[in-house]
Amino acid sequence: MSVIRNEVRRATYLDSIILMRMSREIAALAGVEEAGLIMGTPANKEILREAGILGPEGEKAEAGDLILALRAADPAAAETALTEAGHLLDRPSTLGAAVAADAPRTLRAALRELPEANLALISVPGDFAVAEARKALDLGLHAMIFSDNVPLADEVALKREARERGLMVMGPDCGTAIIAGVPLAFANVVPRGDIGIVGASGTGIQEISSLIARAGGGVSHAIGTGGRDLKAEVGAITTLMAIDALDADAATNHVVLVSKPPAADVARRVLDRIAATTKPFTVCFIGLSDFALPANARAAPTLKAAAELALGRPLASRAAAVSPLHVRGPYVRGLFAGGTLCSEAQVVFAAAGAAVSSNVPVPGAAALAGAPAGHTMIDLGDDEFTRGRPHPMIEPAVRDGPLTAALADTNVGVVLVDVVLGYGGHADPAGHLAQVLGARRDGVAIVASVTGTDADPQPRREQVAKLEAVSVVVADSNADAAALALAAAGRANTRERGAAAR
């Protein structure tokens, strides 16, 4: 019978990315059914409670405490897992003890060590992120807030305060940026160049910047804003400041703006600001195409199109193909680590007249009346899959269950996946996917895109080779992968109709 065990370490803090990676290792221990390693904030305890692994010890934890929570197959497995988890937790503690005498413990102390620094990256539980961001602003630093679970009202207040000081707040929940060539959080290694990017989408920035890099271009700066910046309540404060910064930057000759569709009045404000500059802009509001642009801007329906417009030329694409023998059923199942990549795939399907259902529906790409609704796109980074668990970019095993289900569904002929590389991500996501797939096909074609560059910690060329070694068809972009998957499923549909007619 399953048992729940909690262990609380008082006044212990570890960065959220470290916690996610360690959660993955703990969850993989023998006999462990579910595991979470998380700070004891009220929001985090609710996540563990919903996952069914919060016990009495964890309930007593305070916001600055670290909770290890797990459910194991039996008491013996639980005790063994707690012991092994303790060893994992002691590893960073030992390292920290070795550098404790020299390591700065506050932003002020860090600034004394790096007096030229002008940006603080904040990755603490959301309950503490606002206070740390205010400390950064008080010290004259721009702030990139990786943390999530920050109330919207606090985001608005922080960004207004920062604007009054002439400082920028990127975030909360800002997962990607490239500042002066330095990748921050989940970002790829791309060369410097003359294209600037402003993005309310982390994987949108990653896909566009990687496509630009692989085509021989470069990025001056990629400024993340946080996913809520273009909401009516926030009013695009960071987006507008980022446009100002890139407009004033002599090294930036073209600017790409990428986000999900903003509120109508916010879109007008942003487009009016774009009209006030002489620099050319590419605007990619995923899923939205019916908006008027100023003369110096062009609309991009997809991330691939945004990269092409920024470069001023089409991207070369390899001739990838799916064998008709591999396509058993008429429908595509998309299983995505990147939310914006999931949205882009929906846009590609909608443009072809194909209906799609999704856990993250996109305006302009909803199911079409009278069309078959068997195609499905799932954003595995959505809260329903990541509560108390690592994001699929950190832990690709999050996709294993849905992938197994798709392979078993006789209506599914093509599985569409993304593999996202770069700093912060899993060390070998393609290797994990290849291992799960093995030689299994069962009449299902696997079509993939790989977002990243050969300069990433996981070189893209090597990741592509691992997928192709198990007969995964790898397209040159996420948009190409979506189009290829739809075409392959269309052939299966034609074959099925032909068989029925006979």
Give the per-residue pLDDT at 24: 75
**For 324-501, which CATH class?**
alpha beta
State the pairing for strand pair 169-170/375-379.
unpaired
Give the per-residue pLDDT at 319: 73
Q: What is the pLDDT along the chain (502 residues), one digit of tens a residue?
A: 799 999 999 988 777 667 777 887 888 888 998 888 888 988 889 888 988 899 999 999 998 899 999 999 999 999 999 998 888 888 754 434 434 456 788 899 999 999 999 999 998 878 889 999 999 999 999 999 998 889 999 999 999 999 999 999 999 999 999 999 999 999 999 999 999 999 999 999 999 999 999 999 999 999 999 999 999 999 999 999 999 999 999 999 999 999 988 989 999 999 999 999 999 999 999 988 778 999 999 999 999 999 999 999 999 888 777 877 678 889 999 999 999 999 999 999 999 999 899 988 887 665 444 444 589 999 999 877 776 667 899 889 889 999 999 999 999 999 999 999 999 899 999 999 999 998 666 789 999 999 999 999 999 999 999 999 999 999 999 999 999 999 999 866 555 544 444 4
Domain limits, the chain:
3-99, 113-311, 324-501
On the CB side of 68, how many CA atoms lie within 13 Å of its CA? 27
CA proximity to 257, closest of 309, 316, 186:
309
Give the per-residue pLDDT at 387: 66
Q: Which CATH number fits domain 113-311: 3.40.1280.10, 3.40.50.261, 3.30.450.20, 3.30.420.40?
A: 3.40.50.261
Give the per-residue pLDDT at 373: 55
Q: How far apart are CA 270 and CA 238, in angstroms?
A: 11
Can you list the alpha helix ranges (DSSP code H) found in 122-263?
A: 126-138, 152-165, 202-214, 237-248
Residues 354 and 330: beta-carbon distance below 8 Å: no
Query: Which residues lie across from 205 on neighbouring strands?
Result: none
Residues 303 and 258: beta-carbon distance below 8 Å: yes
Residues 358 and 377: beta-carbon distance below 8 Å: yes
Residues 128 and 150: beta-carbon distance below 8 Å: no
Give the per-residue pLDDT at 498: 46
Q: At what angle do helices 400-408 and 429-437 cross, to 10 degrees?
A: 30
CA proximity to 310, closest of 189, 211, 178:
211
3-99 classified as CATH 2.30.30: no
Give the per-residue pLDDT at 138: 97
Task: Report the amino acid identity of residue 114.
Answer: L
Give the per-residue pLDDT at 92: 54
Matching fold, domains 113-311 and 324-501: yes
Whether the CA torsion 213, 216, 217, 219 is positive or negative: it is: positive
List strand residue ranges (DSSP E) for 360-401, in order: 375-379
* Burial (CB count within 10 angstroms: exposed 0-12, middle 13-18, buried 19+), residue 295: exposed
